[in-house]
Structure 1
C-alpha cells in the first residue's frame, strides 16, 4: 500500500495479500478515505437515447452518482468493518506481548501509535 503500512507489517512479520480479503478491504477503505480527503470535482458526459411510451420510464433510475457512492452502502461497509476487525486481530496477535512492552525488540527505534476511530484501527508508524 505505502511505506507506513510496509513498516508496520514488516515489524509485525506479516505479509498481507492486498488482493484478497481481509487486506483488500483495508486497501479499499484507505482509497475511499483518500477520495474524501483529497476530493476533486469530476465531470462526465452521458449520451443515451431511450425510446419509450409515456410512463414507461417512471421509477427507473439512472446511475449518475459518483463511483464512491456504492462503497458507502451498508453491505460493503459492514463487510469492510468485519474484515478490518480481522486485520486488527491479526496485527494485535502478531505484535505479541514482547512487542507491546518497553523491553520489546524495537523499543526506542520504532514506535507505533495505535488508536481506534469508530471501531476501525488506525496505526501510525513514526
Structure 2
C-alpha cells in the first residue's frame, strides 16, 4: 500500500474549482470564446456559438459600442446525468476604434462560429482642439 501526502491546498483548489465551474450554468450566463484578427482592410471577430442559429444572436452598434448578445437554451430530454455545456444568455461589448466604419459591418454564421468583419476607413477622427477664451 502506497502512502499519499495530504495537500490541503490542492483539496481547496479542487473544491473551489468544482464550485465556480457550476456557478455560470446555474446563473444562466456564459461568454462565447472569441478570436480577434486584423488585416489592412478590416478587423475580424470569430465567436464560438455552437448549437445556435442566426435568430438567437443579435449584433448592434450603440453609442460607438459593438454589442453582441444572444441566448442558448437547452432542450429538456428527461433526466440529465451530466451537463457540461453552458446555456443561458450572453452579452459582449466592445468599443469600436475610430477607424472602423459601423455602416459596413458584416456578420455571418459558419460551422458554429459567428464571424464579423469590421471594415476600416481611411479617415480617422482627428482630436478636436477647442480654444479657451
Which category describes the TM-score, using the shorter chain as reference length? under 0.3
Which structure's relative contact order is higher, taking Cα pairs within 8 Å and 6+ residues apart?
Answer: 1
Scaled by the length of structure 2, what TM-score is found?
Answer: 0.23
Q: Which one has the bigger strand percentage?
A: 2
Scaled by the length of structure 1, what TM-score is found?
Answer: 0.24
